[in-house]
Structure 1
Amino acid sequence: MPSALPDGDPAPPDGRLPEASLATLAGHPFGIYLHVPFCSVRCGYCDFNTYTLGELGAEGASLTTFADAALREVEFAAGVLGDAPQVDTVFVGGGTPTMLAATDLARMLRGIRETFGLRADAEVTTEANPDSVTPEALQTLADAGFTRVSIGMQSAVPHVLRTLERTHDPANVERAVRAARGAGLQVSLDLIYGTPGESLDDWRTSLRTATALEPDHISAYALVVEDGTKLAAQVRRGQVPAPEDDDEAAKYEIADEHLSAAGYGWYEVSNWARREDARCRHNEGYWADGSWWGVGPGAHSHVGGVRWWNVKHPNAYAARVGQGVSPAHGRETLTAEQRYDERVLLGVRLVDGLALDVLEPAGRTAVAGLIADSLVEAAPALRDQRVVLTRQGRLLADTVVRRLLGLR
């Protein structure tokens, strides 16, 4: 089942934000994340806020009414933000966004454009299951202003997909990539490594298959066994082995070597792009402490140090936006210490690294030891005054962050 939301503080029904938070929007990139919570089946490893249609009942939320509910929240957001800047990035995630009709995805984007305005160079992405897209649907999205499609490949090996309970046909990944490219869309492929039973050769097969398709961007994430998932129950009962740290570390090194040789450069610990303009700008906004509004059930938002999260169930979400009140379940105002911790946590994961002058004295003192331990590159630290992770440092990024924060 999806993980529980934090409680936080009560969110005001009118969604009002402090003036100081709203003031941070001027002159800075602003994104919109749109969460589509529908899936045809729930994969055993997934704890995202997703629902099969049979779980939702007959009232409140459905494939045919979701776009209307989401657009109500877009209008609500505009009322809260007032003279907000134009939108720089839109990311439609899930769930499986392409379970919605392409015309509904296009209609939601049109609503965002008409309500907020989209910058001329806006990046607009949708996630897609390779079994749920057609050339016609992708062309509809491209014509509407979508610029990227992120395809959930996960693996090219059938037995690995079965363990993950992914139902797509591996051959459809190539068809989806070809169709997206034919529509003029940039293409990203998402991979997962560390699945129980996945050998090193299986992982190499997935990497070779992915790079042979020549996508613009590749994400590769280590499998995490989340509490409350079917996979967690299987591991607990001893039906499948738990992922092993050493195995996942070896697979990360294999990925970085293979992707580098194929012309992909890492720009965040789990993300590689063929060119700088193929990076996911929306995600870069998250990592750079940017502001965004999350639309949809369970979606999270952040504006100027205030973070909030919507009610999870699609029916409860539809009821709230239908009443014209905030769908937020709770929110928190981050302290200066929390924002500093997050800036270090996220900034150090990027290829450009973290400026030394951002760090408090204890963090700057820790850098020399991190260089000696081969976790931080020496040249950027000395020449450019930036903390940049080595490959070994990327494998131990959490350790690096703890030492920079003086937590050891």
Structure 2
Amino acid sequence: MDVVPVPDTHRPPAGLPETALAGLGTRPFGVYVHVPFCATRCGYCDFNTYTAGELGSAASPRSWLDALRRELELGAEILGNAPQAETVFVGGGTPSMLGADGLAEVLDGVRSVFGLAPGAEVTTESNPESTSPEFFAGIRDAGYTRVSLGMQSAARHVLKVLDRVHTPGRPVDAAREARAAGFEHVNLDLIYGTPGERVEDLRASLDAVLSAGVDHVSAYALIVEDGTALARRVRRGELPAPDDDTLASYYEMIDSVLAGAGLTWYEVSNWASDEAARCRHNLGYWQGGDWWGAGPGAHSHVGGVRWWNVKHPAKYSSLLAEGQSPEADREVLTEEDQHLERIMLELRISDGLALSALDESGIKEARAAAAEGLLEVSDLDSRGRAVLTDRGRLLADAVVRRLAG
């Protein structure tokens, strides 16, 4: 098999500092697995993904699975007495392209190397077109507890702009098949604000989501990322850029419809039917947890140290085959970095931010934001918590900047 040559300049990383490892196990710990394969490339996507035509003979699911196992073993060695994984999230890319057997092998690797904590949440993303009742039964038997399906829209012309290849009704059918296979927790992803999407298109998408009976919905405003096909079309004037006022009104519509159906927000872009339906893995990110990210381009974080892997699957596999780490680079977060990230992430969730995390200037800004209707503050001294109001969620980034100083 041909592989991308490994530059001689690559060096294995140093181990993690004791200060990072000291608190391991006192914070949530999860494992993220990045599957880099996709059948086609969506025009809006800037994730680290590759089609078969782009990879050729340079990499394959088999070589990736073998390398993944080696990286998980490396992770356990570096972390030492690592806690069992409380959550596992297999994302991508299109994990369902591995099939039920491939996803079972992924989870078997995590289970045998790190172990799974009792009641662990195990999620896989899936493309509706590469799933079936047999697929869902297979991954349920393998130990997966949660499925996240990429729906994006129920409108055919919106899917076409996004270069999505699934048929409009397939995500709802897939969600029902997952529930029939025994999955209590099923998520549908929406993207709103696509050029050409009308109010009636979004309403039809929401109606479809509710008809599927899922207990979790994620809804993200379309972002035109540099380097994507969508960005080139916008730059050429073929499509208009998303309009901020439209995005805000669509967000309010989504929140109203979902809340009316019993799905309440717990993070700015996520709604759940109850606490059990919340994505615990993502909450670990937002609440400052630790995770090992395995796979090409995957990011990890332990105790204030963040690192990320090389992106190309062939280079990733060849490094691990030679006994080297696939780490590309890392950063050690300063106290100021960690302070800013805590405000930015915790303020996004419905539990809010403890005012004790703010300095005197930040508390002053929190009081001012509360007076402006952007925050609800349970106690104006440092013992209280700040939670974004409905209006505050629309201006979350600006509120974060104010509180962080």
* Correspondence list, 1:191-340, <5 A: 191-340=190-339
Compute the displacement of 1:369 (Å). Answer: 1.1
* Contact 1:15-1:80 within 8 A present in 2 as well: no
Aligned to 1:7: none
* Contact 2:34-2:293 within 8 A present in 1 as well: yes
Deviations 1:375-397 (A, max 9, x none): 01255657971110001100000
* Contact 2:355-2:382 within 8 A present in 1 as well: no
- Quote the Cα distance in structure 2 between the aligned partners of 1:323 and 1:244: 49
- Quote the Cα distance in structure 1 between the aligned partners of 2:389 and 2:358: 19
Compute the displacement of 1:100 (Å). Answer: 0.7
- Quote the Cα distance in structure 1 between the aligned partners of 2:272 and 2:383: 23
| Secondary structure of the corresponding residue to residue 64 of structure 1 | helix
Q: Which runs of 4+ in 1 moved over 6 A?
A: none
With 23-32 and 280-289 compared, the bigger mean Cα shift is at: 23-32
Amino acid at match of 2:147: V
Aligned to 1:147: 145
Count of aligned pairs? 396
* Contact 1:63-1:99 within 8 A present in 2 as well: no
* Contact 2:72-2:294 within 8 A present in 1 as well: yes
- Quote the Cα distance in structure 1 between the aligned partners of 2:105 and 2:142: 8
Deviations 1:98-150 (A, max 9, x none): 01121111011111111111011000000000000111111111111100000
* Contact 2:33-2:293 within 8 A present in 1 as well: yes
* Contact 2:27-2:288 within 8 A present in 1 as well: no
Amino acid at match of 2:119: D
- Quote the Cα distance in structure 1 between the aligned partners of 2:127 and 2:20: 36
Q: Tell me, which stretches of 5 or more residues in structure 1 are unaligned?
A: 1-9
Deviations 1:151-210 (A, max 9, x none): 000000100000101000122112211211112112000000000010111111111111
Aligned to 2:104: 106
* Contact 1:11-1:331 within 8 A present in 2 as well: no
| Secondary structure of the corresponding residue to residue 374 of structure 2 | coil
Aligned to 2:83: 85
* Contact 1:217-1:278 within 8 A present in 2 as well: yes
- Quote the Cα distance in structure 2 between the aligned partners of 1:269 and 1:381: 23
Amino acid at match of 2:140: A
| Secondary structure of the corresponding residue to residue 189 of structure 2 | strand
- Quote the Cα distance in structure 2 between the aligned partners of 1:164 and 1:196: 9
Amino acid at match of 2:40: V
* Correspondence list, 1:57-96, <5 A: 57-59=56-58, 61-96=59-94
* Correspondence list, 1:375-390, <5 A: 375-379=374-378, 385-390=384-389
Q: Tell me, which stretches of 5 or more residues in structure 2 are unaligned?
A: 1-8
Amino acid at match of 2:49: T
Instruction: Tell whether 2:132 aligns with 1:134.
Output: yes
* Contact 2:356-2:383 within 8 A present in 1 as well: no
Alpha-carbon distance change, 381 to 280 in structure 1, aligned in 2, over 3 angstroms:
farther
- Quote the Cα distance in structure 1 between the aligned partners of 2:96 and 2:120: 20
Amino acid at match of 2:141: D
Compute the displacement of 1:97 (Å). Answer: 0.4
- Quote the Cα distance in structure 1 between the aligned partners of 2:383 and 2:209: 35
Aligned to 2:358: 359
Compute the displacement of 1:57 (Å). Answer: 2.1
- Quote the Cα distance in structure 2 between the aligned partners of 1:312 and 1:121: 32
Aligned to 1:97: 95
Alpha-carbon distance change, 24 to 383 in structure 1, aligned in 2, over 3 angstroms:
closer
- Quote the Cα distance in structure 2 between the aligned partners of 1:381 and 1:131: 51
Instruction: Tell whether 2:159 aligns with 1:165.
Output: no
Instruction: Tell whether 2:176 aligns with 1:178.
Output: yes
Q: TM-score, normalised by structure 1?
A: 0.95
Amino acid at match of 1:377: E
Aligned to 1:4: none
* Contact 1:288-1:343 within 8 A present in 2 as well: yes
Q: TM-score, normalised by structure 2?
A: 0.95
* Contact 2:186-2:214 within 8 A present in 1 as well: yes
* Contact 1:27-1:85 within 8 A present in 2 as well: no
| Secondary structure of the corresponding residue to residue 195 of structure 1 | coil
Alpha-carbon distance change, 367 to 188 in structure 1, aligned in 2, over 3 angstroms:
same
Instruction: Tell whether 2:113 aligns with 1:115.
Output: yes
Instruction: Tell whether 2:392 aligns with 1:393.
Output: yes
* Contact 1:76-1:324 within 8 A present in 2 as well: no
Compute the displacement of 1:288 (Å). Answer: 0.7
| Secondary structure of the corresponding residue to residue 160 of structure 2 | helix
- Quote the Cα distance in structure 2 between the aligned partners of 1:116 and 1:77: 9
Aligned to 1:347: 346
Compute the displacement of 1:27 (Å). Answer: 2.9
- Quote the Cα distance in structure 1 between the aligned partners of 2:87 and 2:14: 22
With 228-237 and 67-76 compared, the bigger mean Cα shift is at: 67-76
- Quote the Cα distance in structure 1 between the aligned partners of 2:166 and 2:25: 43
